[in-house]
Amino acid sequence: MEILIATIVRGVGIGSTYALIAVGFVIIYRATDVVNFAQPALVILGAYFNALFVFNYGLPFPLAVVGSMAAMALIGALTERVALRPMVGQPPFSAAMVTVGLFFALYVLAARLIGSNVITMGDPWGLSRVEFLGTTVGQVDIAKTIISLTAIAVVGVFLQRSKLGLAMRATALDQEVALAQGVNVGRMFGVSWAMSGALAALAGVMIGTAGGGMVALDAFVALKALPVIILGGLDSIKGSVVAGIFIGVAEALTRTYQPGNADFLGANFDVVVPYLIMVIALMVRPYGLYGTKEVQRV
Amino acid sequence: MLAMENLEVVYEDVILVLKGISLSVPEGSIVALLGANGAGKTTVLRAITGLLDVHRGKITKGTITLDGKPIHHMDAPATVAAGIGQVMEGRRTFTEFTVDENLRIGAHTADRGTVEANLDRIYTLFPRLAERRKQVAGYLSGGEQQMCVIGRALMAEPRYLLLDEPSLGLAPLIVQQIRDLIVAINEQGTSVLLVEQNANMALAIASHGYVLETGKVVMDKPAAVLREDDDVREFYLGLREEGAASFRDVKHYKRRKRWLS
Ligand SMILES: Nc1ncnc2c1ncn2[C@@H]1O[C@H](COP(=O)(O)OP(=O)(O)OP(=O)(O)O)[C@@H](O)[C@H]1O
Ligand SMILES: [Mg+2]
C-alpha cells in the first residue's frame, strides 16, 4: 500500500511535468496549427539557463526559475519570428518539418552548452521527504505537482479571462476574422511561442530536479509530452492535464510493478509505456480524449 | 470621406478582379454597393480593410483615402484603428465564443475604458443579444448572429462601417429589422458602405448607389434615381423573378482560409 501511494505520487509529479510541456504544444498548435516538435529542446535549454543562473550568477532558485522562463520566452518568440513566420501560408506539415529541424538545431546547441555534464537546478527540495497518507514521499514530487498544475491553471485563466487571451483564442478560431477585429495575428503567434517557451523552461527545471540531475539527453523525457497530446487531444489544455497525469502514473506503476510481475516484457519497459498508450489512443480515439474531432493531424 | 480612386486589384498575381474602381462614402451617409455574384463587391471591402493579402490579392493601381490620407498600404489592424469597421460576408461569428466574448473581441483596438459603455449601447440596440449574452454564439439564429457581428464591429466605435451582404439568407422580417438597425446606427453618427444583392433594401435607405459589374462601376447615381432605373429594376429589384434567386446558387469560389492552412 505504501509503495503504491509513493509510486502514484511520483507518477503524478512527473505526469504534471508532462502536462506542462503538453500545454506548450497545445498553445502553439491552437494558434498556428503547427505541432512544435522543437518543444523538448526548449525544455532542456530552459533547464540549462536555470542551472546557469543559479550556479554561475548566484541567483536564488526562485529568481533563477523566473529568469530562465523569461529567457526562454524571448528565445521562443525569436524562433517564431525568424523560423516560423515565413512559413505562414504554407501547409502545416511544412511548418512542422521546420520545427523538427529546429529541434535538432536547438538540441545540438543545448548539448554543446551542457556538454557531458550532469546539471542540477539548485532547488530547495533535493531528496527530502514528507509525510503523506501514512507514508513518506519525495518533497520534489509534491512540489512538481503543485508548481506545474498552478502554472497550467494560470495559463488557463489568462486565456479565458484576459483581453490578450481572448485575442489569442480568436486567432486560433479564425485568423481572418481576428485580423478584421484589429488583432495583430502575427503578434499572437509570437506571444504563443513566448508562453510555450516559458512553460518549457519551467518544465525543464521540474525535470532537472530529479535526484540524479539531468543531462542533455533528457530532451527525450520531454518528448513524452507527445503521447500526452495525442491522448489528451492536440487542442485541449484539459486533455493535456488528464493525459499527462494518466501517462505519468501509468509509467510509474509500470516501473514499480512490472519487474518481478511481468519480467518477460524486459527491462526498462516503463519507458515504452507512454508510446504504447499513444498507439492505442491513435487507434481508438484519434482526436484524443478532449480534442476537437475534425482536428487534422500532421 | 472614405474614397477609392481608380482602384485595380489582382488575385494570385494574375486574376484582375477590380478594373479601375472609383467610389466615395461621404461622412454621415449610407452608400449602397450593388452587383451580382462575382462582381467584386467583397474585393472592394477587402481592399479597404487590408484583408487582401489573406486572399493572395494585391492592389496594383489606384488609391484609397480616408479624409484625404492614403490608407491602401495599411494592414487590417491599422485600418480598424483608423476607424473603419466591417461586417464580413457570411457573418463569421466566433461560434465557440459567447455573445459577450464576440462583442468584446470587437473592442480589441478600443480603449479599455470604452468597453462597458459600448457593451451597454449594443445590448440596448439589440435586446435579443442581451438576453443571450452568456450563450455560445454558434447556437444563435442567423438573424441574431448577424446582429452579433454588427455589434462586434460597433465595439471599436468605427467612423465608417462596411457591411457585406447583411441580409443574405435572412427572412424578410429579419431583413427589415437589420435595415432599421443600419439606419439607427447611421443616425448615431456612423457612415455606412452597404454591399448588397438585395437592392430593394439597400436603395431604400441609401442616399447614393453604385452598381458593380465584373470589376467595373457601371452606374454611379443617387439612390432615388437607381430605384427608378429600368435596368436596376429588372436585374436587382426582383421584377425579373429568376434573377436574384438563381444567382445565389452559383457562388463560384469557395472561401478558403488560405492564410491559415
Ligand atoms: N482569393 C481569390 N483568389 C482568386 N480569385 C478570387 C478570390 N476571391 C475572389 N476571387 C474572384 O474575384 C471575383 C470577385 O469576387 P468577390 O468575392 O469580390 O465578388 P462579390 O461581388 O463579393 O460576389 P458575391 O456576391 O458572390 O459575394 C470573382 O470572380 C471571384 O471568383
Ligand atoms: Mg461577396
Interface check B239 vs A, CB under 8 A: no
Asked if A181 lies within 8 A of B152 by C-beta distance, the reply is yes
Per-residue confidence (pLDDT) for residue B239, from 0 to 100: 52
What integer is the mean pLDDT of A146-162? 96
State the Cα–Cα distance between residues B227 and A246, nearest whole angstrom.
68
Q: Render pLDDT for A201-254 as a digit per residue (tens, 0 to 9).
A: 999 999 999 877 889 888 888 889 999 999 999 889 999 999 999 999 999 999
Of B42, B47, B69, the C-alpha closest to B58 is B47
User: Is residue A270 in some structural domain?
Assistant: no
* Predicted TM-score of the model (pTM): 0.87
User: Is residue A267 in some structural domain?
Assistant: no
CB B48 within 8 A of CB B57: no
Per-residue confidence (pLDDT) for residue B238, from 0 to 100: 54
Q: Render pLDDT for A69-128 as a digit per residue (tens, 0 to 9).
A: 999 999 999 999 999 999 887 888 899 999 999 999 999 999 999 988 899 998 888 888
Residue B260 has pLDDT above 90, yes or no: no
Domain range for B199 is 2-83+158-260
Of B96, B103, B105, the C-alpha closest to B136 is B96
Atom number in ligand 1 closest to CA B44:
18
Percent of chain B with pLDDT over 70: 90
Does the CA dihedral B104-B110-B112-B115 come out positive or negative? negative
The ligand placed nearest to the CA atom of residue B33 is 1
Per-residue confidence (pLDDT) for residue B247, from 0 to 100: 42
* Element spanning B257, H or E: none
Of A91-105, A255-269, B118-132, B232-246, minimum mean pLDDT range: B232-246
Per-residue confidence (pLDDT) for residue B232, from 0 to 100: 78
User: Is residue B152 in some structural domain?
Assistant: no
User: Is residue A220 in some structural domain?
Assistant: yes
User: Is residue A249 in some structural domain?
Assistant: no
What integer is the mean pLDDT of A163-173? 94
Per-residue confidence (pLDDT) for residue A133, from 0 to 100: 81
Of A245, A1, A6, the C-alpha closest to A140 is A6
Would you say the CB of residue B167 lies under 6 angstroms from ligand 1? Answer: no
**Bridge partners, residue A81, by sequence:** none
User: Is residue B135 in some structural domain?
Assistant: no
CB B136 within 8 A of CB B162: no
Contacts of B126 (CB under 8 A, 6+ apart): B147, B148, B150, B151, B181
User: Is residue A221 in some structural domain?
Assistant: yes
User: Is residue A278 in some structural domain?
Assistant: no
Task: Extract the C-alpha cell encoding A207.
Answer: 525535470
Q: Render pLDDT for A179-207 as a digit per residue (tens, 0 to 9).
A: 999 999 999 999 999 999 999 999 999 99
Q: Residue A297: pLDDT band by 50, 70, 90 thresholds?
A: very low
User: Minimal Cα–Cα distance from B176 to chain A, Å?
Assistant: 26
- Distances in whole angstroms, Cα of residue B145 to Cα of each of A16, B172, B191: 40, 16, 22
Nearest C-alpha to atom 4 of ligand 1 is from which residue?
B11
Residue B236 has pLDDT above 70, yes or no: no
Q: Which residues in chain B are contacts of A184 at CB distance < 8 A?
A: 77
Per-residue confidence (pLDDT) for residue B237, from 0 to 100: 61
Per-residue confidence (pLDDT) for residue B32, from 0 to 100: 97
Would you say the CB of residue B51 lies under 6 angstroms from ligand 1? Answer: no
Residue B259 has pLDDT above 90, yes or no: no
**Between A166, A169, A184, which is nearest B77 by CB?**
A184
Instruction: Kindly report the average pLDDT of chain B as a whole number.
Output: 89
Nearest C-alpha to atom 22 of ligand 1 is from which residue?
B42
**Reading across the β-sheet that carries B57-66, which strands appear in turn?**
B15-25, B2-11, B57-66, B69-70
C-alpha of residue B215 to centroid of ligand 1, in Å: 10
Cβ pairs bridging A and B (under 8 Å): 73
Task: Extract the C-alpha cell encoding B136.
Answer: 455560445
State the Cα–Cα distance between residues B94 and A175, nearest whole angstrom.
11
Asked if B97 lies within 8 A of A33 by C-beta distance, the reply is no
Interface check B108 vs A, CB under 8 A: yes
User: Is residue A248 in some structural domain?
Assistant: no
**Bridge partners, residue B86, by sequence:** B162
Counted domains in chain A: 1
Q: Render pLDDT for B70-95 as a digit per residue (tens, 0 to 9).
A: 999 999 999 999 999 999 999 899 99
Residue B36 has pLDDT above 70, yes or no: yes
Per-residue confidence (pLDDT) for residue B250, from 0 to 100: 39
Asked if B257 lies within 8 A of A163 by C-beta distance, the reply is no
Q: Which residues in chain A are contacts of B54 at CB distance < 8 A?
A: 175-176, 179
User: Minimal Cα–Cα distance from B199 to chain A, Å?
Assistant: 26
Asked if A92 lies within 8 A of B257 by C-beta distance, the reply is no
Q: What does residue B136 show for φ and ψ, rounded to 5 degrees? A: -70, 130
State the Cα–Cα distance between residues B230 and B155, nearest whole angstrom.
40
Counted domains in chain B: 1
Q: Which residue has the cell 482536428?
A: A295
Q: Which residues in chain B are contacts of A167 at CB distance < 8 A?
A: 105, 108
User: Minimal Cα–Cα distance from B72 to chain A, Å?
Assistant: 15
Instruction: Kindly report the average pLDDT of chain A as a whole number.
Output: 91
Of A228, A212, A233, the C-alpha closest to A286 is A233
Of B148, B179, B191, B70, the C-alpha closest to A177 is B148
Q: HSE on the CB side for B51, CA within 13 Å?
A: 26
Nearest C-alpha to atom 24 of ligand 1 is from which residue?
B37
User: Is residue B96 in some structural domain?
Assistant: no
Of A171, A103, A285, the C-alpha closest to A295 is A285
Residue type, A91: P
Q: Residue A26: pLDDT band by 50, 70, 90 thresholds?
A: very high
Contacts of B132 (CB under 8 A, 6+ apart): B99, B140, B144
**Bridge partners, residue B242, by sequence:** none
Would you say the CB of residue B41 lies under 6 angstroms from ligand 1? Answer: yes
C-alpha of residue B44 to centroid of ligand 1, in Å: 10
Asked if B105 lies within 8 A of A176 by C-beta distance, the reply is no
Burial B218-256 (b: 16+ CB within 10 A, else e): ebeeebeebbebeebbebbbeeeeebbeeeeeeeeeeee
User: Residue B207: which CATH number?
Assistant: 3.40.50.300
Domain range for A56 is 2-227
State the Cα–Cα distance between residues B88 and B36, nearest whole angstrom.
17
Q: Render pLDDT for B140-182 as a digit per residue (tens, 0 to 9).
A: 999 999 999 999 999 999 999 999 999 998 999 999 999 999 9
User: Minimal Cα–Cα distance from A250 to chain B, Å?
Assistant: 34
